[in-house]
Amino acid sequence: MISFFKKSIVFSSILVLLLIFTISSIQAEELVVGMNNQAGDINPLVGLNIGAEYVDINIYDTLVGRDSKEAKEGYLIEDSNNFTPQLAKSWKISDNVSTYTFNLREDVNFHNGNKFDAEDVKFTFELMQKKGSYAEYFKNLIKEVNIIDPYTITVKLNRPEPKFLKRISTYNACILDKETVLNKAGTDIEEQMKWLASNAVGTGPYILESLDTNSVNMKANNDYYGELGNIDKIVLLTISEASNRRIMIEKGDIHIATSPSQNDYNALEKNNEIELLVRPGNSKVVYFSMNLNHEPFNEKMIREAIAYAVPYEAIINIAAGGEKYAPRAHSLLTSELHGYKPVFNYTHNPEKARELVKEAGYESGLEIQFDLFSAGTYPKCAEILQQELKNIGIDLKIKEMAPPAFFQAGSAGNLNFIINSWWDNVADPVGLLTDLTHSKSIPEQGNWAQISVEKIDRSLNAAQSELDSEKRAKLLESVQELVNEEIGYIPLWEAKIIMAMRKNVNDYVHYSDALFRFNEMNIE
Amino acid sequence: MNFRRYIFKRLIFLIFVLIGASLLSFFIVRVVPGDPARMMLPPQASPEDVDRMRIELGLDKPYYIQYFNYINNILHGDLGFSHHTGRPVLEEFKRKLPASLELSILSLLLAAILGIWLGVISAINKNKFIDHFARVFSIGGISAPGFWIGLLAIYFFYYKLGWLPAPSGRLDILTENVNQITVTNIYLLDAIITGNWYLFKNAFLHLLLPVTVLSYSFLAMICRLTRGGMLEVLDNDYINFFRTNGVSKNRVIWIYALRNAIRPVLTMMGMFFARLLGGVVFIETVFNWPGIGRYAVDSIKFLDYPPIQGFIIFMSLGYVLVNLIVDLLYMVLDPRVEY
């Protein structure tokens, strides 16, 4: 019997050796992205994961695309003032910026052969108004959509909106095939949403081949009317472990690794075949936020004491890898946004913080609850803060919360003291500040600090419909100053988009929605 | 008790277990803090959107109506819709269960063969080098975290030596769409059925590391249990009786002694299998394995009720059936056992 086992082991070993062969490396025209998340529901009207957005923006087209330019650092970046024709070959904006007329291309087919025309645009815009995660934005904005002729369409807005082209140049406004959606899912909106969650028929440069929770395969649409690079096949692979993403890009099994671990930055930078890209984040700032309606944060001196107690440099170094990858934030807006003003300039000053706590009447110390959303390096930040606050007589009780509980408490206005980040999906500073500081956003839509200042509301309302870019910037600057006076938020760092890319991948343009437009990219 | 009546009784019992599991899973997900409708939407979604989503998910109705609808749907073969993946739960189970099944069966098989063999060898070589070696080996398997061993294995066998493929899941990254060529979705089996040796080689190489790492901790426990059982049995008079009557040593050890020592091991293996079926999240995460365990954990993160409920019911079913099979195997191994 023992010899039987010995034989089995020898036989198995031979079998394994026979099967092991040189593992084929990736072909030049195939691009593999190792993502830290999964695609999941790919309905463009939902946009739950960035993985799904990568799929949408490449399978569907929008009416207009985003233009690019060279940044002063030498890499390609979005030119936020210009747009390129996509399904619309030209467009006209009325003087009051509330009517947009689009002349559509006449030579476009969907991937299944259906002809594209104005009916598809009307169907999509009407669906956007009815339902979906960002539907409210379009619902409140779009008044009516009129078909002038099969290839001309007019969109009338309820108010002037200079950002409309930007809003419709990303995944939320991907143009759907009316005929296919109606054929496959009927007229019931719930069924349509379910069908769109795992199916996609677009006019875009890539065709969806397969979709699973850990991988998405797309192939080039050779009949695409627009520009198409040399990448024939795209694989989006979910690789949850950052260490696996690192070794796979080093071995050349993947071309792009999103969100590398902070511990791997150095090694990736030293690798001659890989470039570690550090690009502007999608308007995202990481901040501490205090609920102004809760004790003791209703006391301004306590908020100020905490602003002095935060060890900004230590937090950025330990939790985000240092200033190079996470520059310190001086506002709720990131420095590249229009209207940015570096208003928040508190420095680490424990003595001053201690004095303020005493002055506020808490000489014997006080206890504060910190509601910790356990994600990424947030727990590290909370621990550092806990240590620092102890030195000024504040006992920080950290209460860990799972994401569902955290968001529920946030929406109910019950969070006390948190670390969080916020972003706007088209990097619109007005939208971002409205979410975080307008009284109408208390508490469901992001103003969890519960800042309610009439002047802030007025300035934001005015900025939303202000067409003059200088005046708009002035309004935003005043909002930032007013918010800074409240000290409801303590901005920590500007979150950058960091990814590792093999050097044989060329022509990557970093757009503010942080989505890859694979048809613009090439592989050597 | 009559054999058939016993099985019938156990299957009746299964119905009660499933009702219990459905009740438990239904209420357990609802007492967890958090609003699933809120989780389904990005942070910027308006309160109106959240309310609309709540109605769409049926969460605006009283609990008893929600439960009744849920059971009614299950009886019609509908486990609900998984919102975070955008597919029906049943369809997701059909995709992911074969991946988990393939991994579990092979891991258990490997753990059983090597564990029992090592356990027996240790017992017959008590306190000798091989016994000490097996002990150290087993302690390593029980105490070292699986994800750590998994990462180390990937580092050496994929990154350093280049012997094995990237941890990209069940197949190479750029394998052509296999959905069209598979029958059962258990790739090794499909490869054999269709005679597709490329698929076999590809799937086999991807299975090697996760199966080995996963089986290691189970192997260690099986080895210790077998050794203990064997030492007890080998002291019995009937073993000496066989030996003195000229029955070969190998036959006595591997047939007569092992048969009596293996019952606790069998029980343990039943438990292992049920656990493995539910997926082992660490191994699925480290090796990017699209199994049912990771799906369940992701569903919890998104507070996606239907897959969590479906998973709990499926696991209960799995546990009960595996236990039934183990009980029946007792009868095969020991004719004195009656139910």
The single-letter code of the amino acid at B329 is L
Determine whether the interchain pair B48/A136 forms a contact, defined as Cβ–Cβ distance below 8 Å: yes
> Under an 8 A CB cutoff, do B174 and A241 touch?
no
Q: Please give the pLDDT value at position A8.
A: 55
Tell me which amino acid residue A97 is. Answer: V
- pLDDT of A254 reads 94
Average pLDDT of chain B, as a whole number = 84
What amino acid is encoded at B147 in this protein? F
Tokens of A226: 């627009």
Looking at A11-25, A263-277, A381-395, B304-318, which range is the least confident one?
A: A11-25
Three-state SS letters, chain B:
CCHHHHHHHHHHHHHHHHHHHHHHHHHHHHHCCCCHHHHHCCCCCCHHHHHHHHHHCCCCCCHHHHHHHHHHHHHCCCCCEECCCCEEHHHHHHHHHHHHHHHHHHHHHHHHHHHHHHHHHHHHCCCCHHHHHHHHHHHHHHHCCHHHHHHHHHHHHHHHCCCCCCCCCCCCCCCCCHHHCCCCCCHHHHHHHHCCHHHHHHHHHHHHHHHHHHHHHHHHHHHHHHHHHHHHHHCCHHHHHHHHCCCCHHHHHHHHHHHHHCHHHHHHHHHHHHHHHCCCHHHHHHCCCCCHHHHHHHHHHCCCHHHHHHHHHHHHHHHHHHHHHHHHHHHHHCCCCCC
Q: Are A133 and A47 in contact (CB under 8 A)?
A: yes
CA distance A391 to B218: 49
Instruction: Give the CA angle between residues A291, A295, A301 to the nearest 5°.
Output: 85
What is the percent of chain A with per-residue pLDDT over 90, rounded to a whole number?
A: 62
| Predicted local distance difference test score (pLDDT) of residue A135 | 55
Q: Residues 6 or more apart from A4 whose CB is under 8 A from it?
A: none
Task: Give the type of residue at B55.
Answer: I
Least confident of A118-122, A310-314, B234-238, B329-333: B329-333
- For residues A414-424, give the mean pLDDT: 90
What's the rounded mean pLDDT across residues A338-349? 93
DSSP A363: T
Residue B88 in contact with residue B79, Cβ under 8 Å? Answer: yes
| Cβ burial, residue B296 (10 Å; 0-12/13-18/19+) | buried
The 3 state secondary structure assigned to A283-319 is CCEEEEEECCCCCCCCCHHHHHHHHHHCCHHHHHHHH
Contact B38 A407 (CB under 8 A): yes
State percent of chain B over pLDDT 70: 94
Q: Coil, helix or strand for A139?
A: helix
Predicted confidence (pLDDT) at residue A154 exceeds the cutoff of 80: yes
Contacts 24+ apart (CB under 8 A), A11-18: A16/B208
pLDDT score of A341 more than 60: yes
Contact B84/A41, CB-based, under 8 Å?
yes
CA distance A106 to chain B (A): 33
Please tell me which of the candidates B86, B151, B163 has its beta carbon nearest to residue A198: B86
Average pLDDT, chain A: 88
Q: What amino acid occupies position A320?
A: A
pLDDT tens sequence across A441-469: 888 778 999 999 999 999 999 998 787 88
What letter represents residue A505's amino acid?
A: V
For residue A47, pLDDT over 60 is answered with: yes
The DSSP secondary-structure symbol of A518 reads G
Helix (H, G, I), strand (E, B) or coil at A128: helix
Share of chain B above pLDDT 90, in %: 14
pLDDT at residue B235, rounded to an integer: 81
Which of B264, A488, A83 minimizes the C-alpha distance to B272? B264
pLDDT classification of A487: cutoffs 50, 70, 90: very high
Residue B195 has pLDDT above 90, yes or no: no
What amino acid occupies position A437?
A: T
| CA pair distance A208, A221, nearest whole angstrom | 10
DSSP-derived secondary structure for A154-169: EEEESS--TTHHHHTT
A27 — pLDDT class (breaks 50, 70, 90): very low
Q: Which of B321, B319, B325, B314 is nearest to B96 (CA)?
A: B314
Task: Closest CB to A445: pick one of B44, B158, B250.
Answer: B44
d(CA A516, CA A55): 9
What's the mean pLDDT in A341-359? 93
Task: Spell out where A407-513 has E strands.
Answer: 417-422, 489-494, 497-502, 505-506, 509-510
Q: Is A436 left (phi over 0), alpha (psi -120 to 50) or beta?
A: alpha
Amino acid at A84: T
At B271, give phi and psi (nearest 5°): -65, -40
On the 0-12 / 13-18 / 19+ scale of CB atoms within 10 A, B269 is buried
Nearest to B84 among A26, A48, A244 (CB): A48
Specify whether the CB–CB gap between A430 and A460 falls below 8 A.
yes
Please report the residues numbered 155 through 174 in chain B whose beta carbons come closer than 8 angstroms to any beta carbon of chain A.
155, 158-159, 162-169, 172-174
pLDDT of residue A520: 94
- Which tokens sit at B8? 């019938």
Residue B178 binned pLDDT confidence (cut-offs 50, 70, 90): low
Report residue A12's pLDDT band, with 50, 70 and 90 as the boundaries: low
Cβ distance A190 to A162 under 8 Å? Answer: no
pLDDT for the residue A221: 94
Question: With an 8 Å Cβ cutoff, are A241 and B121 in contact?
Answer: no
- Which pLDDT score, from 0 to 100, does residue A182 have? 95
CA distance B25 to chain A (A): 17
pLDDT at A14: 57
What is the Cα–Cα distance from B275 to B323, expressed in whole angstroms?
12
User: Residue A367 forms beta bridges with which residues?
Assistant: A395
Residue A21: predicted pLDDT = 43
Angstroms from A264 CA to nearest CA on chain B: 15
Residue with tokens 């076999």: B200
Residues of A in Cβ contact (< 8 Å) with B308: none
Q: How far is B250 from chain A (nearest CA, A)?
A: 6
A214–B290 CB contact, under 8 Å:
yes
CA distance A311 to A389: 10
Which residue on chain B is closest to A133 by alpha carbon? Answer: B45
Phi, then psi, of A157 in degrees rounded to 5: -105, 155
Residue A413 dihedral angles phi and psi, to the nearest 5°: 75, 25
Residue of chain B whose alpha carbon sits nearest to that of A140: B46
Q: In which band, very low, low, confident or very high, does the pLDDT at A24 lie, cut at 50, 70 and 90?
A: very low
Are A97 and A467 spatial neighbours (Cβ–Cβ below 8 Å)?
Answer: yes
| Span B50-74, average pLDDT | 82
- Altogether, the residues listed in chain B come to a count of 339
Chain B residues 235-254 with CB within 8 Å of chain A: 250, 253-254
pLDDT (tens digit per residue) in B19-32: 888 888 888 878 77
Question: How far B27 CA lies from chain A's nearest CA (Å)?
Answer: 16
Does the distance separating the beta carbons of B173 and A26 come in below 8 Å? yes
Whether A381 and A419 have beta carbons less than 8 Å apart is answered as yes
Higher pLDDT, A477 or B270: A477
DSSP state of A26: P
Token representation of residue A267: 């090694």
**For residues B306 and B84, what is the distance between their CA atoms, to the nearest angstrom?**
11
- Contact residues on chain B for A421, CB-CB shorter than 8 A: none
pLDDT band at B234 (very low <50, low <70, confident <90, very high): confident
Give yes or no for a contact between A60 and A176, defined as CB atoms under 8 angstroms apart: yes
Token pair 């808490």 in the structure block, residue? A362
User: Which of B173, B205, B285 is opposite residue A20, by nearest beta carbon?
Assistant: B205
Is the model's pLDDT at A167 over the cut of 70?
Answer: yes
Residue A500 near residue A278 (C-beta atoms within 8 A): no
- Distances, alpha carbon A42 to alpha carbons A24, A59, A216, A338, B83, in Å: 30, 10, 11, 31, 11
Q: How confident is the model at residue A133 (pLDDT cuts 50, 70, 90)?
A: very low
Structure tokens at A258: 């999103």
* A132: confidence class by pLDDT, cuts 50, 70, 90: low
Q: What distance in Å separates residue B13's CA from the closest CA in chain A?
A: 35
C-alpha A262/C-alpha A177 separation (Å) is 42
Please name the member of A19, A38, A251 whose beta carbon is closest to the beta carbon of B205.
A19
What are the pLDDT digits (tens) for A356-373?
A: 999 988 888 899 999 998
Q: Are B150 and B103 in contact (CB under 8 A)?
A: no
- pLDDT at position A247 is 95
Give yes or no for A435 touching B (CB within 8 A): yes
Select the residue of B48, B174, B204 nearest A26 (Cβ to Cβ): B174
Could you tell me if B198 lies within 8 Å of chain A, comparing CB atoms? no
Task: Kindly state the average pLDDT of the residues B226-240.
Answer: 85
Cβ separation A136–B46 shorter than 8 A: yes
Residues of B in contact with A135 (CB under 8 A): 49
What does the block give as tokens for B229? Answer: 């059982």
- Band (pLDDT 50/70/90 cuts) for residue A306 is very high
pLDDT at residue A4 tops 60:
no
